Amino acid sequence: MATIVQYPARSGRRSELVLLILAIAIGVGGYLSIMVSHPEAPQVWYWYCAAIAGGGIVAHVAIRFLAPYADPVIMPVALAINGIGLAMISRLDLYYQHRADTTGSNAIRNAMLTQVNNERQVVFMIGSLVVVILTLLAFRDHRSLRKFAWPALIVAVLLMLSTKIPGLGQTVNGADISLRILGLTLQPNEFAKILLAIFFAGYLEYRRDSLAIAGKKVGFLQLPRWRDLLPILVVWAAVMGLLVLQKDLGVALLLFAIFVAVLYVATDRPSWIIFGVVLMIPMAVMAYLSFTHVQERVTNWLHALDPNVASPDRIGGSWQLVNALFGMAYGGLTGTGWGLGRPGQTPLANSDFIVSSIAEEIGLTGMLAVMLLYLILVLRGLRAAMGVRDGFGKLLATALAFGIGAQLFIVAGGVTRLIPSTGLTAPFLAAGGVSCVANWLAVALLLRISDSARRPVPSNGANGFRLTSGGSAGDAGEPLDYAATERVVMPQ
């Protein structure tokens, strides 16, 4: 007969501190490598290193008090990825500044200087860590977000519609996804994704029972009832409207993929995934037939190495993609070394194509290590989803973690020519202040959910439980799943 033995629960903060030191070493090491290869660079790198180290330590201390049982891996991994991105952006800034100083054209010089943004990115990183602390302080229980599901939807829609405001909306690469405010370019869709994740989680938790009821069975496919199919059709129509409004296939596909993934988790019905894939096909076809820039991206994908398509004189051609492919090939397995490659020759090397820039200088091996960091981050987010004891937390953590993984797949797939390029940027790596803040906000929510998932279930003052077989000392097992311990009635 199994017995329950009390044991002191471990918060994991010591492990987080060790991992945090490694994460800081990765970011600082990237800066030092660049400064060694560019001794002529401005000697302000130590401020950047201090910002990474100080910001990480302050966030760690805050988590100790605000979310003591949060997953100890999530924050250090996110900081490590962010540090690598900051180092690469700094390295590209040196290239842009050199081009600006050596060119004789004021137009080219101004264009180069507008891409110098490492100082801004460091400031946004520090601001993002402040947002993490404020989020953990404001929301002591993630379930309090459930009541904001419908307001989150309304605000998300307003944010996406704001890109059509005359004088504020800005068209970038054929898509209306940016705002120009006080000289800064903002992409409200970054925050809209977080808000929609909250709405999806709240709505599907409420509707999960009716959506899980099966309809007719055709072969191996379990069809949903028609009235239960309505929600996914409504979301599909909304995404199509967003696609038409903003002319951006990447964001539309990402949002719809997140919704289908959360719908599958809520109902455990694989048929929803099949329906999602089927509905994505006409969405992509419509985008191709309706928008010229989507047709150009498909042409660049299929005929990237065609001399006519890859000509630098062709507007909207595959010159950018070809430069990225040759840059990664030039880096090979081990890379050219930090600061020793030529990634700046690829347009938008610090944002849309920062993955190719990093792969060129640290090689395929180094880029695989970065991908593994992303994989760890996504898996820890999904682990929090599995461990948390309420449906809303499970769905919200799934949406946030899957969103990070899906966005990385879309970005890396476009850079490596696996799929057409969509214009999305790699989370935590690419330049972009709003993107940095939004991604760290997602991390803050994952920390809060994981804190709830790993927090011991109190009973008679105990901090936690350990299951043993027959009560023998030699049969100690792993800690109980906390979702299961809720169903155990302890004696009072």
Q: Which residues face 184 on adjacent strands?
A: 181
User: For position 465, what pLDDT does the model report?
Assistant: 44
* Residue closest to 384 by CA, chosen among 66, 75, 125, 8: 75
Residues in the chain, how many? Answer: 492
Question: In Å, how far from its chain's centre is CA 356?
Answer: 18
Check if the beta carbon of residue 437 is closer than 8 Å to that of residue 129.
no
What ranges do the domains of the chain cover?
13-454
Contact 443, 128 (CB under 8 A): no
Q: Which two tokens stand for residue 468?
A: 């043993």
pLDDT of residue 213: 66
Residues 114, 324, 424, 55: is their CA dihedral positive or negative?
negative
Q: For 75-151, where are the E strands, in sequence order? A: none
pLDDT given at position 292: 83
Burial of 25 (0-12, 13-18, 19+ CB in 10 A): middle
pLDDT at 492: 33
Closest residue by Cα to residue 172 from 190, 193, 159, 186: 186
How confident is the model at residue 490, as a pLDDT?
33
With a cut of 50, list the residues of the chain below it in pLDDT.
Answer: 1, 4-7, 113, 461-492
pTM, two decimal places: 0.87
Q: How far is CA 306 from the centre of its chain?
A: 33
Q: Classify 427 as helix, strand or coil.
A: coil
The bridge status of strand 175-181 relative to strand 169-172 is antiparallel
pLDDT score recorded for residue 3: 52
Give me the phi and psi of 173, to 5 degrees please.
55, 40
Q: How many CB atoms lie within 10 A of CB 310?
A: 19
**Residue 352: predicted pLDDT:** 85
Distance CA 481, CA 233 (A): 36
CA 414 to CA 404: how far, in whole Å?
A: 16
